[in-house]
Structure 1
């Protein structure tokens, strides 16, 4: 085997281990069949610290097999993709599998799940070691995130297009965990009163993303009052008015701001906000209400800050 004119076989083990760690798990297993050396390297524990299985739909049996053979105490990140249309006996996760995962992989920090039915999985089954939980297009039961359940160390929560996620879930998650990161996309059941009730529990938040989740100027006001430690703030598909902009001047640690602006927001209001934020280095404006001339005026007055404009919300 050769790469860029260099025989792969002459590369040191340390280099090959880094290369193998970048490959999808399936390719790592295929590499293990090349020769004894490749098998030793491909199955080395350092290669299996971060495992992303989300490119394919995975069955419960396949995940059990991987857990028994290749997932070990050094696993830090696991991402997997199930199927919401599967019969219950073929669902990706079960309390027993999660219990085995937590026992065998006590250092697991990040669990990312896509298209997974979790309605029969109690929240306390989630490994207690988790610092980050990512849910994309999953189904969750009404009782998730309730007080007293694991994981205790959760600091980063990402919920994208989870239709059941509601005000109740948000309040339970925020009141139980000291979150540093909260990313909510397409959570259409969330309401502005629900976001306002959760805000006082998010004083330690450093990154907040709200996209299409019922936020408005009242929510922006709550952010300004309670989340003064924010470094990154994104509010998209929830247009902010001039009144809302003024509420954000208290975010003195803010470094990146992405906003979808409502109609009749003036360049002066945007400039006044950004000039009041001494740490701001990246401004991204979304929406068709601001033309090129207005953005040029904003850039001219914000020389300390990179400014970009997108007429349409990013995917």
Structure 2
């Protein structure tokens, strides 16, 4: 290259000419619908997500499932730092993953903190995997790291060897759905006052629950919601204990058990604040029980499905006698829905 080409003036001139030529050339990105001529537009400038305010980025991350949140920490240091924001870990749902105890412990140590309010887990009862979901050590660590945990939901887990006394003391809602429990499993937690703040207890599908497990629940003074659907070992003795110890219940779900009209009468006479009531698949209960339920004027939602022994006339009388009823689930919708709608068009019939 000669000296002339190396001169600074000539170099600056070439750069300015190239810049002017680039600015004068339009970027074509579309076509006019009317004339078919090309429409010049300004050059598109890409926006990097890292240029967004951190509050906006955290809001975007909140829509990610837990697994994607964990993976996002590998993208860059900024993602890793923002993913530890406490607002992203208030409600953690792990039911869509087959997560083992070791991985669950790792997630707990990395991300769960005082901000955690709601934790939902799924075990391995319905799979061929033979492993534990929880351990005593994990529950102790969860209690220490998340002292504000108010709701714990566990599905399909083997919990017979797990001490209930190690459950977090901050729990207000405990849902153990279709879990394997031994008889008297809740007793240590009740005796030690671990569950004294409990407001709702769901033991649906826990087939080992018996009448003897119900009486110790009298210590749950703040209990408002109780679900015992699928606890087939229960009978009228359990209902007698529930109505005596928890007359202020707002929701009671029972079914698939040997309850009779005697138990239904106890419920109707003692539970004056009940708003939601279910008696699914109770073959020993007759239409006479519907007359007892008719006295419960506070009922808003009622489920009497899978009880073909209830005649239509008794159901109509029941609906007429419940002024606050908003929703009712029956065995055969086709035969009674039209008549119920005539009685009260605001009732939802399922």
Same fold by TM-score greater than 0.5: yes
Task: Structure 1 unaligned segments of length 5 or more: list them.
Answer: 1-5, 309-315
Is contact 1:235-1:259 (8 Å) kept? yes
Q: 2:258 aligns with which of 214, 218, 236?
A: 214
Higher strand share: 1
Is contact 2:196-2:222 (8 Å) kept? no
Following TM superposition, by how much is the alpha carbon of 1:94 offset from its aligned partner in structure 2, in angstroms? 2.0
| More moved, 247-256 vs 170-179 | 170-179
Following TM superposition, by how much is the alpha carbon of 1:258 offset from its aligned partner in structure 2, in angstroms? 1.6
Indicate whether 1:155 and 2:199 are aligned. yes
Q: Which residue of 2 aligns with 1:229?
A: 273
Indicate whether 1:105 and 2:146 are aligned. yes
Aligned length: 298
Provide the C-alpha distance between the structure 2 equivalents of 1:283 and 1:18, rounded to a whole number of angstroms.
39
Alpha-carbon spacing, 1:28–1:245, altered in 2? closer, same or farther (3 Å): same
- Summarize the alignment of residues 154-193 of structure 1 with structure 2, pairs less than 5 Å apart: 154-193=198-237
Following TM superposition, by how much is the alpha carbon of 1:210 offset from its aligned partner in structure 2, in angstroms? 1.7
Task: Structure 2 unaligned segments of length 5 or more: list them.
Answer: 1-45
Q: Which residue of 1 aligns with 2:85?
A: 44
Q: Which residue of 2 aligns with 1:33?
A: 74
| More moved, 112-121 vs 263-272 | 263-272
Alpha-carbon spacing, 1:86–1:151, altered in 2? closer, same or farther (3 Å): farther
- The DSSP-based 3-state class of the residue aligned with 2:239 is helix
Q: Which residue of 1 aligns with 2:39?
A: none
| More moved, 15-24 vs 166-175 | 15-24
- What are the Cα deviations for residues 33-72 of structure 1, in whole angstroms up to 9, with x where unaligned? 3344433332211000111112222222112211211110
Give me the TM-score of the superposition, normalised by structure 1: 0.84
Following TM superposition, by how much is the alpha carbon of 1:298 offset from its aligned partner in structure 2, in angstroms? 2.1
Q: 1:205 aligns with which of 221, 227, 249?
A: 249
Following TM superposition, by how much is the alpha carbon of 1:8 offset from its aligned partner in structure 2, in angstroms? 8.4
Indicate whether 1:81 and 2:122 are aligned. yes
Indicate whether 1:246 and 2:291 are aligned. yes
Q: Which has the higher contact order (CA 8 A, sep 6+)?
A: 1
Provide the C-alpha distance between the structure 1 equivalents of 2:48 and 2:78, rounded to a whole number of angstroms.
12
Q: 2:316 aligns with which of 233, 257, 271?
A: 271
- What are the Cα deviations for residues 264-296 of structure 1, in whole angstroms up to 9, with x where unaligned? 6443322322222222112221x24x753x432
* Higher radius of gyration, 1 or 2: 2
- The DSSP-based 3-state class of the residue aligned with 1:298 is helix
Indicate whether 1:295 and 2:340 are aligned. no
- Summarize the alignment of residues 8-23 of structure 1 with structure 2, pairs less than 5 Å apart: 9=49, 13-23=54-64
| More moved, 256-265 vs 274-283 | 256-265
Following TM superposition, by how much is the alpha carbon of 1:227 offset from its aligned partner in structure 2, in angstroms? 1.8
RMSD (Å) for aligned C-alpha atoms: 2.5
- Summarize the alignment of residues 255-266 of structure 1 with structure 2, pairs less than 5 Å apart: 255-260=300-305, 262-263=307-308, 265-266=310-311
Alpha-carbon spacing, 1:122–1:264, altered in 2? closer, same or farther (3 Å): closer
Indicate whether 1:282 and 2:327 are aligned. yes
Give me the TM-score of the superposition, normalised by structure 2: 0.77
Provide the C-alpha distance between the structure 1 equivalents of 2:220 and 2:101, rounded to a whole number of angstroms.
30
- What are the Cα deviations for residues 72-110 of structure 1, in whole angstroms up to 9, with x where unaligned? 0111111122334766xx522222221111111000011
